[in-house]
Amino acid sequence: MTVTIKDIAEKAGVSYATVSRALNYKYGVNSTTRQHILEIASTMNYSPNAIARGLVKKQTYTIGLIIPDITNPFFPEVARGVEDMSEKQGYSIFLCNSNWEKSKENRYVKLLIEKRVDGLILAPSSSIVTAEDRQVYSRLPVVMMSGVQSGCGTGSVVVDNIKGGFIAGKYLIEKGRKKLSFIGGAEDSFSVKERYEGFMQAAECFLSVALSPDLVRFGDYRNKSGYRIMKELLEKKNIPDAVFASNDLLAIGILQAIKDAGLKVPEDIAVVGFDNIAAAGFGEVELTTIEHPKYRMGELAAGMLLDKIDLKPEINENERVVLEPELIIRRTA
């Protein structure tokens, strides 16, 4: 049905090896026969079969991208960075949402290996890398992104979460805030932990009083969660004068809770987020936050992966690049 190299060969009166060579601009085919072959291929509407090619070349020019949820505004930018960089080098990407489920993530890894992707970029749903995981990751080039410990056995690109937390804390304290609160996403998330750690370091360095344990809370990464937690906090007497949220979605929920309580941001309570998602910059929100270089992260991860793929024979040294966070001052702090 679909036209193959053999159909072209027949019509051109040459062997199909010659057709293959002609179509791939290989050295060693007469320029007039090549021309002839190219014309025939074009008029026959030939489309090379990348599957067949992949089988013999053992390379698919395809990489897998597994993220928790493309619907979370952090990930589209990352994905776009990955795609743009990959496309530049001729690679396509399989997009997979693990839905924050480790089991689904594992199934996807397995599937992608079956599909013989040339490499894998993984924004893991959980910070825990098991021995089995390592074993699987050793089967192909892998780079991990965001919220991954070093020594995970793969390449990785992350933002300096500790520094980001530190910057946020330092800024709030310099602005005269004394009663700090930390509201985080999942407590067992590695990046949340690190952001908290950096924040605490700033408090230790620059603040005489310690953080009230009641003012550090965890939930999930969603908007609603920030709202709920902040509301709880406000209903008690122990009200902070600044809160650092482990991500912007949370911070936006927090903003809303504060507004609903009739308090003013930043006068009564300052709020700083993390990630600098697009919505943080919207006029109605104007959230002060920490820039997380999302697009760049995707680009770098893809770049690193493609390097790994190309240098297959080389030692698979597990490079780790750490991106700089940056304070973005807007209205809320």
Residues that bind a second copy (CB under 8 A): 47-52, 54-55, 60, 62, 65, 69-71, 73, 75-77, 79-80, 83-84, 87, 92-97, 110-116, 139, 223, 227, 252-253, 255-257, 259-260, 278-279, 282-285
Q: Which of 10, 11, 23, 69 binds DNA (CB under 7 A)?
A: 23
Query: Nearest approach, Cβ of 25 to DNA (angstroms)?
Result: 10
Closest to DNA by CB, 46 vs 74, is 46
Under rule CB under 7 A, residue 90 binds DNA? no
E strand or H helix that includes residue 241: none
The residue among 8 and 245 lying less far from DNA, judged by its C-beta, is 8
Q: What is the distance in angstroms between the CA of the first residue and the CA of the last residue of the chain? A: 65
Give the one residue of 10, 11, 33, 307 binding DNA; rule: CB under 7 A. Answer: 33
**Residue 10: partners with Cβ closer than 8 Å, 6 or more residues away:** none
Is residue 110 at the binding interface for DNA, with CB under 7 A as the rule? no
How far is CA 247 from each of CA 100, 226, 289, 316, 321, rounded to the nearest angstrom?
Answer: 16, 9, 9, 33, 21
Nearest residue to 258 via CA among 217, 288, 286, 228:
228
Find the part of the chain contacting DNA (CB under 7 A) among 31-39, 171-179, 188-196, 313-321: 31-39
Distance in angstroms (rounded) separating the CA atoms of residues 253 and 181: 15
Residue list 173-212, contact with DNA (CB under 7 A): none
Q: Which of 21, 163, 170, 320 binds DNA (CB under 7 A)?
A: 21
271 binds, among a second copy, DNA, none (CB under 5 to 8 A by kind): none
Q: Give the one entry of DNA, a second copy, none that residue 31 binds, where binding means its C-beta sits below a cut-off of 5 to 8 angstroms depending on kind.
A: DNA
* Cis geometry, peptide bond prior to residue 266 (ω within 30 degrees of 0): yes
- Smallest gap from Cβ 169 to a second copy, in A, equals 24
Question: Helices 31-43 and 16-23 sit at what angle, rounded to 10 degrees?
Answer: 90
Angle at 294 between CA 283 and CA 120, to 5 degrees: 150
Binds 252, which of a second copy, DNA, none (CB < 5 to 8 A, cut-off by type)? a second copy
- Nearest distance, CB of residue 13 and DNA, angstroms: 7
Residue 62, contacted partner among DNA, a second copy, none, CB below 5-8 A by kind: a second copy
4 interacts with DNA by CB under 7 A: yes
Q: In this structure, which amino acid lies at residue 119?
A: G
Q: Beta strands of 74-229 (E only): which ranges?
A: 92-97, 119-122, 142-145, 155-159, 180-184, 216-218
User: Using CB under 7 A, which of 35, 39, 43, 48 touches DNA?
Assistant: 48
Binding-site member from 35, 43, 49, 130 for DNA (CB under 7 A)? 49
Q: What are 175-178's contacts with CB under 8 Å, separation 24+? A: 175/242, 175/270, 175/333, 177/241, 177/242, 177/270, 178/207, 178/209, 178/241
Query: Nearest to residue 113, comparing CAs of 69, 70, 177, 66?
Result: 66
Q: Is 2 in the site for DNA (CB under 7 A)?
A: yes
Q: Which two tokens stand for residue 193?
A: 């932990």
Q: Summarize as ranges the residues that interact with DNA (CB under 7 A).
A: 2, 4-6, 13-18, 20-21, 23-24, 26, 28-31, 33-34, 46, 48-49, 52-53, 55-58
